[in-house]
Structure 1
Amino acid sequence: MTASRVWAVFSTFRPGEGAVEAVASVASQVGGVIVVDDGSGDRGRTALDLIAASGATVVRRSSNDGIAAALNDGIARARAVGAEFVLTFDQDSHVPPGFVAALLTAYDAAVADGVRVGLVVPEFFAGVRQQRGAPAAFGDAANVIQSGMLVPTAVIDAIGALREDFFIDLVDTEFELRARNRGLRVLAAGGVRMEHALGTKYRREIFGHPVRVPGVPPEITLSTPFRYFYRLRNRVVLDREYFRSAPRQLLRDSVLDAIHFANALWVAAPRGALARVYRAAVVAAVRGRMGRMPAALSSIAAQIRWNAPMIAEEDQ
């Protein structure tokens, strides 16, 4: 098994220098790199030009259709040139030397043991462990993240591509659950690590004083406000469609998400705007309104700010 059979596919949106570094970190480990820009327009042009100059294939989409659509575009192009595996990435994911070979080694070991493998992810993603149980060369993964996800192209033939109507958020979880429903194992490669930014950290405060409650972390990691529409809508859809097949996982994840949504509402300013985003997300899920959020709601989300002090990287 050689890395030349693997093609890396990146989705970008208004990329900067970090995207150039991310592509460079994996380029020598794979047969080729395809970068699909999701409608950035002129923003990010410098970074995309540098990436193209490095030898990667750069595809500039004219519209912003979401991460799943961008990745599916890149995956289709990788398959057209004979890729047997695709390795998907976000624009801010960096991999160490030997990363791709380690994922392939775990895949080979699992196949040799008679496992029907759906996909393989690193054991550690941004410091969060994705492998269940005791450390092993490969083991079942929990709550996979699409960045750093190795997928045989034959699996895409069998279960379909990433779900584009989710637009962004939980696209990876839906693919994971779909693979398991088809009898495929979702694995984490033991000892493999990948660095990634999971969001911005903020300090919990009440009237300017840090919150110190036993069992409650003193900080909270938050995404850009508009993301909470997709995260809540897609969570409701996932629960409705997959709860019977994965009740424990979805119950746990839904409880954790509910806590996170409450925390975000606590520090949102104005709170009413985020509450409207939440309400619209639930209504969209119930009525089957998928795809991109309405422009009017996007304008409301753009007004939201997090009323909490940001934690500088050196303070973390």
Structure 2
Amino acid sequence: MNSTNEGTHKKNFDATRIKVCCIIVSFNPQIENILHLTLGITEQDSFVLIVDNDSRNHQELESRLPKSANIKFIQLPNNTGIAHAQNVGIEYALFNKYTHIVFFDQDSTIDSDFIRQQVTAFEHIRSVQLQLAALGPAFVDKKHGFHYKIVNIDRHGRRTKIDTQHMQQPFAASLIISSGSLVAADALRAIGPMDERFFIDYVDTEWCLRAHAKGYVIFVNPQVQMLHAIGDNSLKLLKWRVPVHSAFRRYYRIRNAFFLLKMPHVPTLLALREIAFNLVHQLVLILFGHNKMGYVRSLWRGLKDGLNGKY
């Protein structure tokens, strides 16, 4: 993918004080993917912490990891969700005095200079934006090759989309996804960990909005890119591609949108839009997807628990 121009981000910071911990949350992963990602991280002089959510293949995964002081594997006794697993990693990183944390999904793919580029860009931006909390990359769809747009939200919840494809300089953003995001340890201490009540969906959305509410800023570096895919598959409907997640995942998507509505740092318009969008999305999956009854049940449970505030 694209590389950051060396002249754009000068190393005007003390690189010797930087300690990067990369947290990978795994759940029934493709082991080759994690091994490739782990190798790519360690080759960039960064520490890898894999937090496994009780995967069926966790023993094989742990046994195949290289024996290295820069790799640690933590096995959780059951699947407690991505937010809790990330918090386990955050607690470890903060206790061991890492200065920066990078979050990855188990299927993330990075370039050979991804972490160094992001750390350099982060420190350059923070020399001007002292309240910088996190820096995300730009994302390109794995299957179809298009660039995902970055969403900005004003204080009323109105959205604007930013196309990163032809941008050169880092820019402020309201929301970034956790995969590939680099977060300052001191910002995490001030903003707080991930909200474990969300389990999986909207974890990064809520944290970004909480960061903004506490006076922090978030940036995207369009010169550093990652491949990404939303959903397990997609449905082609007229000119749109509709992401397809499991019924299990759709339950959390629907339920958690109602949770956003109750949070004072989340714009009401944003939460209402997510509720409406998820209901339409669910209807499409029920009408055109497989496992129709599974989606009907997840809709019912998501509505019931969301309205009742059941975490």
TM-score tier (shorter) = 0.7 to 0.9
- Contact 1:93 / 1:197 at 8 angstroms: preserved in 2? no
Asked if residue 261 in structure 1 is aligned to residue 276 in structure 2, the reply is no
Cα separation, 2, equivalents of 1:73 and 1:32: 15
Cα separation, 1, equivalents of 2:217 and 2:225: 20
Equivalent in 258, 263, 278 of residue 299 of structure 2: 278
- 1:236 aligned residue: 258
- 1:49 aligned residue: 63
Per-residue CA deviations over 1:175-219 (Å, capped at 9, x if unaligned) read 111101111111111311012332233444xxxxxx6x4xx32x4
- 1:71 aligned residue: 86
Equivalent residue letter for 2:282: F
- Contact 1:144 / 1:176 at 8 angstroms: preserved in 2? yes
Q: Give the CA deviation at 1:75.
A: 1.5
CA spacing shift, 1:9–1:235, aligned 2, 3 Å = same
What is the correspondence of 1:27-46 to structure 2 with a 5 Å cutoff?
Answer: 27-40=42-55, 42-46=56-60
- Contact 1:7 / 1:86 at 8 angstroms: preserved in 2? yes
Cα separation, 1, equivalents of 2:242 and 2:100: 36
- 2:5 aligned residue: none
Asked if residue 193 in structure 1 is aligned to residue 225 in structure 2, the reply is yes
Q: Give the CA deviation at 1:245.
A: 4.8
Tell me the SS of whatever aligns to 1:122: strand
- 1:298 aligned residue: none
Equivalent in 289, 303, 312 of residue 310 of structure 2: 289
- 2:23 aligned residue: 9
- 1:295 aligned residue: none
Per-residue CA deviations over 1:109-144 (Å, capped at 9, x if unaligned) read 322223411211102254313373773522122442
Gaps of 5+ in 2: 1-12, 142-146, 152-161
Asked if residue 130 in structure 1 is aligned to residue 123 in structure 2, the reply is no
- 2:117 aligned residue: 102
Tell me the SS of whatever aligns to 1:114: coil
- Contact 2:47 / 2:71 at 8 angstroms: preserved in 1? yes
Cα separation, 2, equivalents of 1:272 and 1:48: 37
The total of aligned residue pairs comes to 278
- Compare 86-95 and 143-152 and name the one that shifted more: 143-152
Q: CA RMSD in A?
A: 2.4
Cα separation, 2, equivalents of 1:226 and 1:114: 40
- Contact 2:254 / 2:275 at 8 angstroms: preserved in 1? no
- 1:226 aligned residue: 248
Equivalent residue letter for 2:170: F
- Contact 2:258 / 2:271 at 8 angstroms: preserved in 1? no
Gaps of 5+ in 1: 205-210, 291-316
Asked if residue 178 in structure 1 is aligned to residue 210 in structure 2, the reply is yes
Cα separation, 2, equivalents of 1:11 and 1:258: 28
Cα separation, 1, equivalents of 2:291 and 2:246: 14
Q: Give the CA deviation at 1:174.
A: 0.8
What is the correspondence of 1:111-126 to structure 2 with a 5 Å cutoff?
Answer: 111-124=126-139, 126=141
- 1:302 aligned residue: none
Q: Give the CA deviation at 1:250.
A: 4.1
- 1:25 aligned residue: 40
- 1:293 aligned residue: none
CA spacing shift, 1:43–1:260, aligned 2, 3 Å = same
Tell me the SS of whatever aligns to 2:79: coil
Q: Give the CA deviation at 1:279.
A: 1.6
Cα separation, 2, equivalents of 1:10 and 1:129: 24
Per-residue CA deviations over 1:46-89 (Å, capped at 9, x if unaligned) read 22222253551001111111111111111111222220111111
Q: Give the CA deviation at 1:25.
A: 2.1
Q: Give the CA deviation at 1:271.
A: 3.0
CA spacing shift, 1:192–1:257, aligned 2, 3 Å = farther
- 1:303 aligned residue: none
* Normalised TM-score (structure 2): 0.81
Cα separation, 1, equivalents of 2:45 and 2:253: 32
Asked if residue 151 in structure 1 is aligned to residue 183 in structure 2, the reply is yes
Q: Give the CA deviation at 1:23.
A: 1.7
- Compare 245-254 and 141-150 and name the one that shifted more: 245-254
Equivalent residue letter for 1:128: Y
Cα separation, 2, equivalents of 1:49 and 1:270: 35
- Compare 7-16 and 248-257 and name the one that shifted more: 248-257
CA spacing shift, 1:14–1:74, aligned 2, 3 Å = same
Percent of residue pairs bearing the same amino acid type: 24
